[in-house]
């Protein structure tokens, strides 16, 4: 559980406006009990949504991506906030920018790799600026709990020349969102709001406040500001550079950055979740906590460094703060040389790295068994990957639940790069290796990911006379991130009925003449369809359609059991990697608490040893 130290009183004196100065002072220095009407534990992502509500945000557009997903889900529960799932992060960012230009306070959320997708509008939004405030939420994932890379989003703030704020607990998630909107409107800029997995998915104490309604700002036509043709963009670049100078002055005085002086011995400069680790490992140390992480202050850092004998920098991922300190001539006595560039940190790791006693902890006396991720019992993707593995084809994979098809015993996937790359990558693979390659390779992609960034890859295949087979794994939901709606499901984020996008018609409109739909649990039909489409001399799409077994409307059949008298212990049923099937004391056993009665295993047993528990005696 995260608990933030009380901020020390810092007087706001600097360039920024009296209005912003007054707001930040009220936000950070109000007395306990005046913050709102309710004190409670709140998840970081839920607190971000609460901050959006209290800040008067009107518009939210996002694409789900762990660890950011719940922000938009919680935001959608407020009637005062319009919230939507966009097809991808680029669209979400553009929609939020449009809402901000239209005079509303807007927000979009994504995970760190989603910011790659949104980078195009992000960089130009830095030039156009805003009208109503705009905040871009990005959740980094140190340790790669649910991601394909470990990139540090602070580099985007630096490259795009945008301010970035980073909270350290749930209360700061609320307060920093409010501060971000004030900065956005004061300095005419989008603001990036950075969290990480630990902040997003930890709980700490917050106090709620009433919503601060913000009237819609007037929209005034201004092509020189919003039409980024070269002649106008040249002038806006001048504005961006001047704005960064003003933000640098803000960094020196804002209470988002605060010095907690506790002695002249050891001092730490840190931010985000690392602040919590440092405070636990070194409760008596002086700390400079940075909440505005771009631009970073110079004088504030120099002054803090001058007041401590030993200075350490603690930041996960890349040495952004450390590099800045060295560049401005501040000595650093330890940082990445002690902690490294990989993964998450912890209180124990920080204590060990910088010479504090490492508390002992109890253990189980034996190694904890490894529990690798697996497809759920009854997952509709299992039959497809079993079939592809059996056929021995090269499988160009994508991002989603089906990425787990790479693991044994299915072992089907050859590649996984990013959203939509399965289709584009397969096209390049087959063009490079010749037409025969298309008869031995497929791409797999989910329904939501196909909407996100698969369609353009499919168009690339047909337009450039490719001959690849694409399999869309349509499980009727966005599965990996926790069952979010998407354009193919017929429901919005707020569960309002909406036109249901047809994958079949999209494929036909893209120029694919061979589009087939098959149930992936019908193994014989599935294998026949895959073989036929691999042999076709033109592009083809197979839609493997079966709803996710965890959807509430999916009715489960009675579990299956093993007839020991008929079982030959051939282990054919083990080839699909179903968690409900295991071997205990030499016997094949089905765990009836896990089995959902999908009957896929029965199609692998040649001896009739797997039967429904309803009829088995």
Cβ atoms of 378 and 549 within 8 Å: the answer is: yes
Dihedral angle sign, alpha carbons of residues 229, 234, 236, 240: positive
State the DSSP code for 298.
Answer: S
416 DSSP β-pair partners: 397
Q: Is 173 annotated as a binding residue?
A: no
- CA Rg value for the chain: 27
Task: State the CB neighbour count (10 A cutoff) for residue 105.
Answer: 30
Task: State the CB neighbour count (10 A cutoff) for residue 292.
Answer: 25
Residue 119, both tokens: 């980078």
Helix, coil or strand: residue 254 = coil
- Give the 3-state secondary structure percentages of the chain, helix then strand then coil, rounded to 5: 40, 20, 45
Q: Is 274 annotated as a binding residue?
A: no
What angle (nearest 5°) sits at the alpha carbon of residue 119, between those of residues 113 and 120?
145
Number of H helices, E strands in the chain: 22, 23
Task: State the CB neighbour count (10 A cutoff) for residue 587.
Answer: 11
Task: State the CB neighbour count (10 A cutoff) for residue 96.
Answer: 31
Q: Is 548 annotated as a binding residue?
A: no
What gap in Å lies between CA 132 and CA 180, rounded to an integer? 12
Cα 191 off chain centre by: 18
For helices 89-101 and 119-128, what crossing angle results, to 10°? Answer: 20
HSE-CB at 418 with a 13 A cutoff on CA atoms is 12
Cα 63 off chain centre by: 9
What gap in Å lies between CA 367 and CA 448, rounded to an integer? 38
Buried b (16+ CB within 10 A) or exposed e, 158-178: bebbbbbbbbbbbbbbbbbbb
Cβ atoms of 590 and 581 within 8 Å: the answer is: yes
Q: Is 418 annotated as a binding residue?
A: no
239: Cβ contacts below 8 Å, ≥ 6 apart:
127, 129, 188
Kindly report the backbone phi and psi dihedral angles of residue 581, in degrees, each rounded to the nearest multiple of 5, phi listed first: -105, 130
What angle (nearest 5°) sits at the alpha carbon of residue 541, between those of residues 400 and 485?
40
Burial class from Cβ neighbours inside 10 Å (0-12, 13-18, 19+) for residue 57 reads buried
For helices 421-433 and 455-463, what crossing angle results, to 10°? Answer: 20
Residue 70, both tokens: 């719940």
Cα distances (angstroms) measured from residue 239 to each of 167, 447, 472 = 28, 42, 46
What gap in Å lies between CA 172 and CA 277, rounded to an integer? 16
What gap in Å lies between CA 191 and CA 130, rounded to an integer? 10
What gap in Å lies between CA 488 and CA 503, rounded to an integer? 7
Q: Is 376 annotated as a binding residue?
A: no
Q: Is 578 annotated as a binding residue?
A: yes
For the chain, the first-to-last Cα distance in angstroms comes to: 51
Q: Is 401 annotated as a binding residue?
A: no
Cβ atoms of 258 and 289 within 8 Å: the answer is: yes
What gap in Å lies between CA 206 and CA 33, rounded to an integer? 11
Q: Is 196 annotated as a binding residue?
A: no
Binding annotation for [4Fe-4S] cluster: 567, 570, 573, 578, 595, 598, 601, 605
Binding annotation: 567, 570, 573, 578, 595, 598, 601, 605
């Amino acid at each position: 559980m995260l608990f933030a130290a009380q901020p020390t009183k810092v007087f706001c004196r600097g360039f920024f406006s009296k209005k912003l100065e007054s707001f930040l002072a009220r936000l950070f220095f109000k007395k306990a009990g005046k913050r709102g009407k309710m004190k409670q534990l709140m998840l970081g992502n839920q607190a971000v949504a609460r901050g959006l509500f209290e800040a008067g945000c009107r518009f939210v557009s996002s694409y789900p991506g762990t660890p950011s997903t719940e922000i938009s889900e919680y935001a959608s529960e407020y009637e005062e906030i319009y919230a939507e799932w966009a097809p991808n992060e680029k669209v979400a960012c553009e929609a939020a920018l449009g809402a901000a230009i239209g005079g509303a306070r807007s927000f979009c959320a994504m995970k760190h790799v989603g910011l790659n997708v949104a980078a195009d509008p992000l960089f130009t939004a830095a030039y156009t600026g805003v009208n109503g405030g705009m905040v871009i939420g990005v959740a980094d994932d140190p340790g790669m709990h649910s991601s394909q890379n470990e990139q540090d989003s602070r580099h985007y703030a630096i490259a795009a020349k945008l301010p970035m704020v980073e909270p350290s607990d749930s209360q700061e998630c609320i307060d920093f969102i409010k501060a971000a909107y004030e900065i956005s409107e004061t300095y005419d800029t989008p603001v990036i709001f950075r969290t990480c997995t630990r902040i997003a998915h930890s709980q700490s104490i917050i106090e709620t406040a009433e919503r601060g309604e913000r009237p819609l700002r007037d929209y005034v036509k201004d092509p020189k500001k919003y039409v980024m043709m070269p002649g106008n963009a040249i002038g806006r670049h001048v504005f961006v550079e001047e704005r960064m100078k003003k933000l640098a002055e803000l960094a020196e005085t804002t209470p988002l950055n605060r010095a907690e002086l506790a002695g002249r011995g050891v001092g730490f400069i840190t931010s985000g979740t690392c602040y919590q680790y440092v405070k636990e490992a070194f409760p008596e140390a002086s700390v400079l906590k940075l909440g505005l992480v771009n631009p970073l202050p110079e004088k504030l850092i120099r002054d803090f460094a001058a007041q401590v004998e030993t200075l350490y920098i603690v930041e996960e991922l890349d040495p952004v703060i450390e590099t800045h300190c060295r560049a401005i001539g501040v000595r650093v006595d330890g940082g990445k040389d002690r902690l490294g560039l990989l993964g998450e940190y912890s209180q124990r790791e920080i204590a060990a790295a910088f010479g504090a006693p490492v508390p002992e902890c109890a253990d189980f006396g034996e190694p904890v068994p490894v529990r690798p991720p697996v497809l759920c019992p009854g997952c509709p993707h299992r039959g497809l990957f079993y079939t592809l593995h059996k056929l021995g084809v090269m499988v160009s994979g994508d991002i989603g639940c089906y990425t787990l098809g790479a693991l044994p015993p299915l072992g089907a996937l050859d590649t996984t790069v990013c959203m939509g790359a399965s289709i584009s990558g397969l096209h390049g693979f087959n063009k490079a290796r010749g037409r025969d390659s298309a008869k031995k390779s497929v791409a797999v992609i989910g329904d939501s990911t196909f909407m996100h960034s698969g369609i353009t890859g499919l168009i690339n295949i047909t337009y450039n006379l490719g001959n690849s087979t694409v399999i869309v794994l349509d499980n009727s939901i966005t599965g990996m991130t926790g069952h979010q709606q998407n354009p193919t499901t017929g429901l919005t984020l707020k569960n309002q009925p909406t036109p249901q996008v047809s994958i079949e018609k999209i494929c036909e409109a893209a120029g694919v003449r061979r589009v087939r739909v098959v149930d992936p649990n019908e193994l014989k039909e599935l294998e026949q369809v895959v073989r036929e489409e691999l042999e076709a001399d033109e592009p083809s799409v197979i839609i493997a359609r079966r709803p996710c077994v965890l959807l509430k409307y999916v009715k489960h059949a009675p579990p299956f059991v093993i007839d020991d008298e008929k079982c030959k212990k051939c282990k054919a049923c083990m080839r699909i990697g179903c968690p409900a099937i295991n071997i205990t004391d030499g016997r094949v056993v089905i765990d009836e608490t896990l089995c959902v009665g999908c009957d896929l295993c029965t199609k692998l047993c040649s001896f009739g040893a797997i039967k429904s528990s309803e009829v088995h005696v």
